[in-house]
Structure 1
Amino acid sequence: MKILIVDRQIRAGRTVAGQVMSMGHEAAIAWTAADAIEAAAEWIPDAALLDIELGENDGHEVCRILRSNPDLSRCKIIALSGTSTLDFLALSLFDAILEKPVDAPMLVSLLGSGSDDSSGEG
C-alpha cells in the first residue's frame, strides 16, 4: 500500500513513516496541509495518516479536501491525535483515530501487511 504521512513534527512523521515501511508499505511524508493536499492529488495514496493538529489548516479541513477529490475515494484516512480527548468531529470525518505515539499493532490492524500487496495492479 501507498501510505501518506502528514505531520508537522519532523521526528513524529519520520517515526511513523519508519513503522509503515517496516510493515512493507511505501511511505511519503508531507509536513504541511498544502503539501499534503498536493502530494495526495499527485501520488494517490491508499491511506493517509493525518495529524489533526496541523496548525495553519487543521487536519479536519485537510480531510474534507481529500474526501472531495474523486481520485481519493478509496483512500483510508486515519487521524493522528496528540491528545486522548474525544473529538466528535474527527469521529465523523476519519475512518479511524489513533493517539500518538502510534501503537504499532493497532497500525498493523488498520493497514495490514504490505507484503501481500492486493492492490489489484498489474
Structure 2
Amino acid sequence: MKKLILLLIMLVSLSAFSQDEGRRMGNRSPEEMANFASERMTNMLDLNEAQQEQVKSYYLNRTEEMQKMRKEQSGRMSREERKKMMEKAATAEDEEMKKILTEEQYGKWQKSREERRKNWQDGNRRRN
C-alpha cells in the first residue's frame, strides 16, 4: 500500500508538466497535494516534524509553480521541451531531498523513486 501511494506521489510530480490540470489527482489544490506528499513520505521514511514541514513547503511551492507554468504554456511545449523541464524538476527535487532527509532516508527515498519510475515506464510501454 505504501508503495502504491508513493507511486502516486511521484507520478504527480513527474507527470504534472505533461498532463492537463483536470486529469491530475482530481483537481486537488496545491495545499492538498503538498499535504498528501508530506503524509506519504512521513509514513515511508518516518520523517520528524521539521522534515515534514520542509517537505510540505517544498511540494507546495513546486505544485504552485507547475500550475502557473501549465497555464502560461497551455499546451505549447514540444515533447523535447517537456522532457527537459521534467528532468530539471527531478534534479531540483533530488537536490532538495538531499538537504531535507538523512542519508538513510535519502537512500530509501531514491530507491523508491527508481522503482516508481520503472513501474511507470513499464505501464506506459504496455499502453503503447
TM-score, normalised relative to structure 2:
0.30
When normalised by structure 1's length, the TM-score is: 0.31
Relative to total residues, which structure has the larger helix share, 1 or 2? 2
- The structure with the largest strand share of the pair is 1
> Highest CA radius of gyration, 1 or 2?
2
